[in-house]
Amino acid sequence: MRLWDGRFDRPTHEALEAINRSLPFDRRLAAEEVRLSIAHARMLGRQGIIPERDAARIVRGLEALAREVAAGALSADLPDEDVHTLVERLLTERIGPAGGRLHTARSRNDQVVADLRLHLLGLTRGLRALVADHARALLEVAEAHPGAVLPAYTHMQPAQPVLLAHHLLAYVEMAARDDGRLADCARRMDESPLGSGACAGVSFPVDRRAVAREAGFSRLSANSMDAVASRDFACEFVSACAIAAAHLSRLAEDLVLWSTPAFGFVGLSDAVSTGSSIMPQKKNPDGPELVRAKAARLAGRLAGLLGVLKGLPLSYNKDLQEDKEAVFDAGDSLGASLRVMAATLRGLEVREARMRAACEAGYLEATDAADWLARRGVPFREAHRAVGRLVRRAEAEGLPLARMPLEAFREAHPLFDRGVYRALGLEACLRSKDVPGGTAPRRVRAALRVARRRWGTGT
């Protein structure tokens, strides 16, 4: 069965058949296709566009089909061209010629974009729930280790000491923005294109608002050509997924590094690790590594979808069939990444002593020594040079700054006195960053309270 073959007298070439057929992937839209078809059929009957008795038969047939779709009863190897053809064929086989009336006042062009919008609204809700769970997993680790301190790195070099909770809260902030992007793109995809037809609207007295309301859309599309031709909502969805995946990838990289013997800051649970086929001692962080790769995959999906759209004249073109695999893969990949990262975090062994020991190397208190001079009126650039000279000498003597003799400090700058030693301990360094958004313990405690309220976790 084809919805368009009256114009043609030769069969479709097998090469075109293979590339044109979308059922292997768009069958995922079957639930939305049936749901929207029920709303459309009811409207056709109410408006007198088709006989009420035929509309009722169509609705009953579609409701039975909806139950089969929900039960996963549709075979994956059906011969139909796409999900729209599949639903109409099955309906007509079951209720007879009345099924052919279902396509009155609609086109596959407005059907497919309506199906996709509705499906993505559901996907977005599911992904937001997973983002929230990921954020809660981060908070659970942060709250379980409130005093853990580790080096912050810039250029992958030890920079300054921070609380582990502060480090993890950075990823909670990213999760909040990821959630916001998903919510924002959902607002724009929440409009019904049904009634746009192929590109110009339809010539029947349809009630677009009633169909949109029953289907679950908040508003109507304003322009029929834009409605069938635009996929910027799909680009936004893939973009939101790609950015969220990039954030997860950065966290994954942290965990991969931290779990190496060279760092030793964390241990990964056996439940989220794998072994080597040849080296018995190996414990590999495959979950975080795959999350990194998924981020690259999603970036490619976004570039591919934008490439499809960039040169298309209005209105609908079959190129747009390529949107679905991109958005489905984006949602699936981000969902899988969020699940594995939440599991990884909840099984994490945090090695606080190793983190603290790492803070005691690398001269992480150097900035605080320079700030100590600056608070006494020394221009910061002068203070910076003085402490830089002191660090160079400390490195040569193999001593931390806190164990350098006072005369060494005074040789670096005459305003140094014994009070500088009180600024050099880890706790002092942390307390001194007492600004909104800083790593001072009281600021981090306040940030954790805010995050608990946002994500509904903790006490």
Q: Is 155 a catalytic residue?
A: yes
Nearest residue to 185 via CA among 116, 136, 83: 116
Question: Which residue in the list 155, 166, 239, 432 is annotated as catalytic?
Answer: 155
- The answer to whether the CB of 39 falls within 8 A of the CB of 208 is no
d(CA 120, CA 327): 8
Helix axis angle, 366-374 to 380-397, nearest 10°: 140
Cβ neighbours around 41 below 10 Å, total: 27
Both tokens assigned to 393: 């000498």
Asked if the peptide bond before residue 192 counts as cis, ω within 30 degrees of 0, the response is no
d(CA 165, CA 169): 6
Q: Is 276 a catalytic residue?
A: yes
Contacts of 260 (CB under 8 A, 6+ apart): none
Both tokens assigned to 47: 């408006």
- The answer to whether the CB of 244 falls within 8 A of the CB of 131 is yes
Contacts of 154 (CB under 8 A, 6+ apart): none
Nearest residue to 202 via CA among 178, 227, 184: 227
- What one-letter code names the amino acid at 40? H
Question: Which residue in the list 247, 249, 276, 384 is annotated as catalytic?
Answer: 276
d(CA 297, CA 330): 9
Backbone angles phi, psi at 76, to 5 degrees: -80, -15
Nearest residue to 366 via CA among 407, 315, 412: 412
Q: Which residues are catalytic?
A: 155, 276
